[in-house]
Amino acid sequence: MIFKDWWDGVKNELEKSSFDQKQMNELYKEMYSSLGNQNTQGHGAFRRKFIQKFAKEVESLLGAKGSKLFEKRKDKNFVKKVDDLAISMRGYWPKYVFVFCRTYDGRSKPLPEYHAKITGFDERVKVMSSIRRPKRLIIRGDDERDHPFLRIEQLFSVMNIVLSHDTACTHRGLQLRTYQVIPINTRIGLIEWMENTCTLKDFLTNTLTDTEKKSATRPNEAYNEFLLGIGQKYSKNQSNLILFYNLAYRKASRSDVVKNFQNVLQLVPRDLLKRAFLKMCNSPEAYLSLRSHFISSHALLCVSHWVLGIGDRHLSNFMINTETGGMIGIDFGHAFGSATQFLPVPELMPFRLTQQFVNLMQPLKESGLIQSVMVHSLRAFRAEPDLLLNTMDVFVKEPSLDWKNFELKQLKKGGTRKLEGANPSTITSEELKLGFEKDAAFQGLQSVALGTKGENVRADLPAEGLSVENRWTVS
């Protein structure tokens, strides 16, 4: 699987006109270190056996140091031979006993003799729809259970330790829902599958009536019409939505944008989230319990994701536990402010608090439970900044491939300043500057991020030294 993923990546790169021999050599070195060199530090018995079986065949086909890869890149017979080799590797399975990895917290002695052993794999693989296209596979254990996992990476359970040290958070039972993570290499890992969950998108769309389903695309269409109107007025290019966003930040007035946003809101039923929870419940008490768990878990996720700069929080990157109503975050492909710095249309909002959430929280709306949870959790994180910042420092110093070109010092600085009381709009503005300072739309983007005095609270408060309560108001 590792070789096939590597080869698929190589084929994607070979299609690029800018790809050259030097880049090919770097890709080969990456693969050789993992699958061709028995002396690479950290290889276990399984990997060494694999190298013994396939290393000579790989070198014969690809050439010494991958010399044939670039020169034969357009040879269809050569490409097919490498494809066949990758397929032949799938069936390799030496006679070892494999056990399920467990995560220990250091407070007790590991007991591997009680771990379930792997007996096989289910033949069905489900490809998920999020940005990384993770695959769900099911591993069968000798404990007569199926263990679903996702291939992908990372988590942040260290925040739960900080929350458990705070009395107010412990009293409210504030804990992030976490799941097991087993990294295999820099590109592949296993993540535990969570049963009895669905995406927030599915949770909402399942409550639409037949009439509402027919007009479900209308909000997007109305928004695109607004952007298209700006594009037609200021650009000869009539099909580039990214360009239209750019023009909107430069040319559209605040009043026009607000008016269009309110018009789009009218096209979305205000009570979809409320309907979904009512559908789950058979009593008023059950509804109040599920709603409370949902609101508190979402509020905690919002604060935690903001501290870590996790972006790309669309409806398919939130999961709902259909038994407890709890919210779970998934797919952290954009972290440490990268969604603001690097996405073509930068994210400017610190978290998601739409009319669906506000309507569910009636009658207190955002001033009730969600405010209380956010204030207490942020206060807990600020009380122990070193633990969080040192954890973030590990990612900054050993970044994954997706983060290797980031302004690393700035990324850590952002986490530090969030815990020290900087105005969130100021931090967003600084992240924007790293990625968009030379963009024609930068002034418009920065203006939106910082807000308008007299109109937005964030613009009326200082850039530094805010209390936890002030931070909630700004966000």
Q: In this predicted structure, what is the pLDDT of residue 403?
A: 47
- Give 333 or 21, the one with higher predicted confidence: 21
Tokens standing for residue 234: 């200021």
pLDDT above 70: residue 393 = no
> Which of 282, 199, 362 has its CA nearest to residue 370?
362
3-class SS of residue 420: helix
CA–CA gap between residue 287 and residue 297 (Å, rounded) = 15
Confidence class of residue 407 from pLDDT cuts 50, 70 and 90?
very low
Q: Which residues contact 136 (CB under 8 A, 6 or more apart)?
A: 125, 126, 127, 128, 148, 149, 150, 193
Confidence class of residue 242 from pLDDT cuts 50, 70 and 90?
confident
CA–CA gap between residue 314 and residue 311 (Å, rounded) = 9
Highest-scoring range by mean pLDDT, 123-137, 171-185, 206-220, 228-242: 206-220
Q: In this predicted structure, what is the pLDDT of residue 147?
A: 57
Tokens standing for residue 413: 């600085």
pLDDT above 80: residue 183 = no
Packing angle between helix 21-35 and helix 45-62, nearest 10 degrees?
A: 150
CA–CA gap between residue 195 and residue 317 (Å, rounded) = 16
- Give 272 or 183, the one with higher predicted confidence: 272
Q: Which residues contact 412 (CB under 8 A, 6 or more apart)?
A: 389, 392, 393, 396
Arithmetic mean of pLDDT, 276-298: 93
Q: In this predicted structure, what is the pLDDT of residue 226?
A: 92
Arithmetic mean of pLDDT, 438-445: 92
Round the average pLDDT of the chain to a whole number and report it: 80
Rg (CA), the chain: 25
pLDDT above 80: residue 125 = no
Q: In this predicted structure, what is the pLDDT of residue 409?
A: 47
The predicted-structure confidence for 197-228, as pLDDT tens digits, reads as follows 999 999 999 999 999 999 999 999 999 999 98
Arithmetic mean of pLDDT, 435-440: 89
Q: What are the φ/ψ torsions at residue 150 (nearest 5 degrees)?
A: -115, 140
b/e string for 55-71 if b means 16 or more Cβ within 10 A?
eeebbeebeeebebbbe
Q: How far is CA 339 from the centre of its chain?
A: 10
Q: Which residues contact 342 (CB under 8 A, 6 or more apart)?
A: 334, 435
b/e string for 359-378 if b means 16 or more Cβ within 10 A?
ebbeeeeeeebbbbbbbbbb
The predicted-structure confidence for 317-353, as pLDDT tens digits, reads as follows 899 999 999 999 887 778 778 888 888 889 998 888 8
Q: In this predicted structure, what is the pLDDT of residue 400?
A: 46
Q: Which residues contact 166 (CB under 8 A, 6 or more apart)?
A: 376, 379, 380, 383
Arithmetic mean of pLDDT, 282-295: 93
pLDDT above 80: residue 160 = yes
pLDDT above 70: residue 129 = no
Q: In this predicted structure, what is the pLDDT of residue 161?
A: 87
The predicted-structure confidence for 186-205, as pLDDT tens digits, reads as follows 566 777 778 899 999 999 99
Q: Determine what percent of the chain is predicted with pLDDT higher than 70.
A: 76
Q: In this predicted structure, what is the pLDDT of residue 288?
A: 93
On whether the CB atoms of residues 249 and 449 are closer than 8 A, the answer is no
What structural domains and CATH numbers belong to the chain? 2-89 (no CATH), 112-194 (3.30.1010.10), 216-265 (no CATH), 270-474 (1.10.1070.11)
Q: In this predicted structure, what is the pLDDT of residue 54?
A: 82
pLDDT above 80: residue 40 = no
